[in-house]
Amino acid sequence: MRRILLAAALLAALLPLGTAAPSWAALNAAAPSWAARAEAAFAKLPLAPTPPMGWSSWNKFRCNITEDLIKQTADAMITSGMKDAGYVYVNIDDCWMAATRDANGDFQPDPVRFPGGIKALADYVHARGLKLGIYSSAGTKTCQGRPASLGHEQADARKFAEWEVDLLKYDNCNDAGVPAIERFTTMAEALAATGRPIVYSICEWGANKPWEWAGALGHYWRTTGDIADRWGSMVAIVDQQAGLEKFSGPNAWNDPDMLEVGNGGMTETEYRSHLSLWALLNAPLIAGNDVRTMSATTKDMLTNPEIIAIDQDWAGIQGHKISDNGDLEVWAKPLSGGGAAVVLFNRGPVGAEVATTAADLGLKAWTGYRVRDVWAGADTYTLGKVRASVPAHGSRMFVVKPGLPGKVPPAVAADVRTDTEGFVRGGQTFTATVRFSVDGLPPVRDAEVTLAVPEGWSVRATGRTRAPVVVPGRPFSAAFEVTVPETAGKGVFGLTAQVTAHGGRQLTGYGSVAIAQAPQGDQWLSDLDALTADVGFGTMGRDVNVSGKPIKIAGVAYAKGLAPHAASEVRYFLDRRCTRFTAEVGVDDGTNRRGSVTFQVLGDERRELAATGVIRGGEPAILIDVDVTDVLVLTLVTGIGPDNNNSDHSIWGSPRIVCAG
């Protein structure tokens, strides 16, 4: 009864009248109402009071999986400390099944790769205190073309229960035109009917707003297409989480997809951002690397107890973005103990200070706050400001709580700014100012500031670099004259401040300037070097598609064009010299009408200048024509559309920029 009441309450919260209920009724007028079926399916057990943690074979191994891999991974989960850290599900993703069903029409495992069968694997995993997850698709075939469960839901769920499986990831490929809610509800009912507690992971890619209905059926649901082991992909997924926080809670979590930490496609700094944000979003933490051979750094990242504690906080309140200043974002999450977790996120290509306050984090007014740096494992004390210098693509993650200073040192920050707009030329002399702020008590004594510049550049302090004492509200600034060598080539160059203070305390501040080619007259963007190009796969094609072939959209050839695989973000230095940008955008014909992408043109501070809806493979190009007067840096973004990033070969055809000569 309690469960039914809970279900009703959940449904009432998730399904405001006029959204999902009428469309279900319209789809299937003769059947019991969708609400009634979903309520019944919500015999869903409360198996995920906190976001599930485990491992999955997909991100690293794709179809190259065997029972030995699964067993070795289970062993490695134990020896590496992953299990003790909370990672308990060992999930076999796509490709475990034989190419055909057996004579009874039942699922059977691939006889070569899984000769011992799934039940034996479940026994192996269970004997080690772990749980086994399996995969199917709510379609006629899985995404890799294997047998799948549409029309076989009851039999397949019974098989999973018979094999003593503990989790089902249910995918969305080859849907035969059946609406998603119907397909995913049928499996929820089939799982419930088995009587076995099976966590139900709904992998619908966010295509039909699953956050509005999947909570009644499953324990977590994918909110987006597939992650790739790329910075651009990870950040594009983060962008799609904004606003979804209200749909998440115990036993019903938003899933921004499995972790790529340790797979090699991002830097350590980027992987820390990935994990910090996933923890802040209450994401299921499903590692996707080879845990048998992972480095100590990867293991330490994945098993960091403080990051995991934030993800698993029993209050179960998902974090959200509280400020967005171009490339600098602040994400915050209320914690059960009255504190807040915060991620200071720098998605840009240069180091910068990211700042917020205890009040903006939603904390009660108090004399001061303890600030725990969860990656560094160190505490400081602030009177209210929470800030840090964050390197490019980096994050700093803190837990902030009202508290007393005790014996911890004051919170401090070192910010590096220049009197340029971030761009310089060979031979130029500019001023870099390091501002050292103290945000807590006691005051800091004997602070000394130095600035390191790239090799061959010169730097000279133009004033004091030592301060006998620095107090809150009175930052100390040290100015440096920096000269760029005449011969300096293009690139982003770090300006790194070091502050040392009484007692040997050390602090780093990250600044940078870039040297870039300014456009002259009218040009094709593909003839210019991009400042940065983050793409979802491979490298960006210039005047050729991602496979190196001529560019074509819906039969129209483009001699000039940019071909970044979505999700992508490509930046060009315009130097405020240009007035107009035009391009014809679409999906490259090389995908054979597959793929779906979106396009967005951003000015400075990520101001949106133009955006398209979803454009699918085979559809004619759309003309983008925007005024770019006074834009310093132009950012071209492509998104992955409503499904995954397969075949998302986005094209900016004839990308023309009109600039001063």
Q: Give the residues lining the site for ligand GLA (CB under 6 A).
A: 58, 93-94, 142-144, 171, 203, 205, 226, 644
Residue 200 beta carbon to ligand GLA: minimum distance, rounded to whole angstroms = 15
What 3-state class would DSSP assign to 393? coil
Residue 225 beta carbon to ligand GLA: minimum distance, rounded to whole angstroms = 7
Please report, in angstroms and rounded to a whole number, the separation of the first and last CA atoms in the chain. 75
Find out whether 531 and 224 touch, Cβ atoms under 8 Å. Answer: no
Nearer to ligand GLA, 145 or 402 (CB): 145
Nearer to ligand GLA, 273 or 644 (CB): 644
Find out whether 494 and 551 touch, Cβ atoms under 8 Å. Answer: no
Phi-psi map region of 436: left, alpha, beta (phi>0 left; psi -120 to 50 alpha): beta
Nearer to ligand GLA, 356 or 591 (CB): 591
Nearer to ligand GLA, 143 or 291 (CB): 143
Residue 204 beta carbon to ligand GLA: minimum distance, rounded to whole angstroms = 9
Nearer to ligand GLA, 63 or 515 (CB): 63
Residue 143 beta carbon to ligand GLA: minimum distance, rounded to whole angstroms = 3
Is 643 tagged catalytic?
no
For residue 604, what is the DSSP state?
A: G
| Catalytic residue selected from 226, 255, 290, 379 | 226
Find out whether 283 and 311 touch, Cβ atoms under 8 Å. Answer: yes
Of 55, 57, 40, which Cα lies nearest the Cα of 4?
Answer: 40
Dihedral angle sign, alpha carbons of residues 247, 253, 257, 259: positive
How many CB atoms are located within 10 Å of the residue 169 CB?
27
DSSP string, 420-440: SSSB--TT-EEEEEEEEEE-S
Placement of tokens 């940065």 in the chain:
532
| Catalytic residue selected from 93, 156, 166, 171 | 171
Which residues make beta-bridge pairs with 344?
A: 330, 396
Nearer to ligand GLA, 233 or 644 (CB): 644
Residue 646 beta carbon to ligand GLA: minimum distance, rounded to whole angstroms = 7
Residue 83 beta carbon to ligand GLA: minimum distance, rounded to whole angstroms = 23
Nearer to ligand GLA, 58 or 271 (CB): 58
Q: Give exposure, 50-65, as e/b (b: 16+ Cβ within 10 Å).
A: bbbbbbbbbbbbebeb
Is 419 tagged catalytic?
no
Distant-in-sequence, close-in-space partners of 234: CB < 8 Å, separation ≥ 6: 227, 260, 266, 270, 273, 274
d(CA 249, CA 132): 23
Residue 173 beta carbon to ligand GLA: minimum distance, rounded to whole angstroms = 6
Residue 218 beta carbon to ligand GLA: minimum distance, rounded to whole angstroms = 15
d(CA 170, CA 370): 43
User: At residue 156, what are phi and psi to the nearest 5 degrees?
Assistant: -70, -40
Of 395, 237, 255, 404, which Cα lies nearest the Cα of 318?
Answer: 255
Nearer to ligand GLA, 526 or 645 (CB): 645
d(CA 429, CA 404): 45
Residues annotated as catalytic (active site), given as ranges: 171, 226
